[in-house]
Amino acid sequence: MRAMVLRQPAPAASAPLRLESAVDPAPAADEVLLRVRACGVCRTDLHLAEGDLAPHRDRVVPGHQIVGDVIGCGASVSGVGTGMRVGVTWLGGVDGTCSQCRAGRENLCDHPVFTGYDRDGGYAEYVTARADFVFRIPEQLDDVHAAPLLCAGTIGFRSARVAEVQHGEAIGLYGFGASAHLLLPLLKAWNCRVYVATRGEPHRELAQQLGADWTGDALDRPPVELDRAITFAPSGGVVVAALSALRKGGVVAINAIHLDGMPAFDYDTLLWGERQIRSVANLTRDDARDFLRLVAQIKLRPNVETFPLHHANAALVKLKSDALSAAAVIVP
């Protein structure tokens, strides 16, 4: 098979991924083998490629928003069969025995396995995955439009849960890339008023097209106090801007696996009043199942831009430069 392989992190502009040929993978007893139909490109892939995330392996195939056909099953697999179309997410496995897993917080597992980081991902023609960590894709979604939902969509949904979003509230979205543009239609379906602060006029225009009640620049203050805010930009300054717009008792959820640092801020005026800052870490299988079910109900259809497998580096460059007005998807 062909795969885009990362052996040494480097700036995206230097094309750190290399197209290589490899033997087709074989599933272990508890795994399935997938023929990859589409794989979404995530900012986490960019952080991995550039070394913001410390490498876990000497060689890895990135990609964790995978849609594929099951073409093989390990000896102990049940409930998943050949011919099924399934999705794979960032969380590729948990130990199931640590205190976090036993408490129902598998997203915080002490020994997690991440797709495209700890095990090879979907920037390839074939991939294996644990059978209990794949999800049936709703028939209403085609491959390309399903792929971004499997991380950008589900982690946005997880962020709304962490922020404790309630129907009808005023919600701030800071940054408007792949994840936020999938969350906004869901918030509107919940009758929320949505205020988007993001750099780049194309991103603001897209937010307006999707029904945002207000748009402004990345650090602009919305015209109302926010009940909740979710930050998507990997910037501590943006977190402080979101906090400054929050009502007493409100929550800021940080949807970022990497942050450039948190500037000092005044406790008395910004955090006091039982305002809260929370981080969003990974997702659970229930998050993925619940989100895909909601997607089918509201007929969510992401905006996408497709790239062939050998152009994966170009997708990362466009993502880094904010040149995408949609979710990037690799189609091998």
Where along the chain do its domains lie?
2-150+283-331, 154-279
Farthest CA pair distance, the chain: 60
* Residue 12: band (very low, low, confident or very high) from pLDDT cuts 50, 70, 90: very high
Provide the whole-model pTM. 0.88
Which amino acid is located at 285 in the chain? R
Superfamily designation of domain 154-279: NAD(P)-binding Rossmann-like Domain (3.40.50.720)
Tokens (6 digits) for 157? 């949904």
Give the start-end residues of each E strand in the chain: 2-6, 17-21, 31-40, 65-73, 85-88, 91-93, 113-114, 126-130, 134-136, 170-174, 193-197, 214-216, 226-231, 246-254, 276-279, 304-308, 327-331
Encode pLDDT of 166-199 as tens digits: 999 999 999 998 889 899 999 999 999 999 999 9
- CB count within 10 Å of CB 211 equals 12
Per residue in 284-319, pLDDT tens? 999 999 999 999 889 888 889 999 999 999 999 999
- As a whole number, the mean pLDDT across the chain is 95
User: What are the structure tokens assigned to 86, written together?
Assistant: 């399934």
For 134, phi and psi rounded to 5 degrees? -115, 160
**CB neighbour list of residue 42: distance below 8 Å, 6 or more residues apart:** 64, 65, 90, 151, 152, 178
The residue with tokens 């023609």 is 125
Mean pLDDT of 203-217: 95
In order of 183, 224, 268, the CA distances from 277 in angstroms are 19, 19, 15
Are the C-beta atoms of 107 and 282 separated by less than 8 Å? yes
- Inter-axis angle of helices 178-189 and 152-162, to 10 degrees? 60
Identify the pLDDT of residue 158. 96
Residue 258 clears pLDDT 80, i.e. is over it: no
pLDDT tens for each residue of 37-66: 999 999 899 999 999 999 999 999 999 999
Q: Which range has the worst mean pLDDT, 31-40, 71-80, 219-228, 264-273?
A: 264-273
Q: What is the pLDDT of residue 299?
A: 87
Is the Cβ–Cβ distance between 115 and 121 less than 8 Å? yes
Q: What percentage of the chain carries pLDDT values higher than 70?
A: 100
| Angle between helix 201-209 and 178-189 (nearest 10) | 30
pLDDT of residue 178: 80
Of residues 116 and 282, more confidence is placed in 116
Q: Please check whether residue 329 is in contact with residue 144, taking contact to mean a CB–CB distance below 8 angstroms.
A: yes
Half-sphere exposure of 124 (CA within 13 A, CB side): 27
d(CA 59, CA 6): 6
Return the amino acid letter for 143.
D
Residue 182 and residue 174 in contact, taking contact as beta carbons nearer than 8 Å = no
Percent of the chain past pLDDT 90, that is, above it, reads 85
Within 10 A of 212 (CB to CB), how many other CB atoms are there? 23
122-147: per-residue pLDDT in tens?
999 999 999 999 999 999 899 999 99
Q: Looking at the predicted structure, is the pLDDT value of residue 326 above 80?
A: no
Q: Architecture of domain 2-150+283-331 in CATH?
A: Alpha-Beta Complex (3.90)
Residues 6+ apart with CB under 8 A from 231: 174, 175, 238, 239, 242, 252, 253, 254, 255, 256
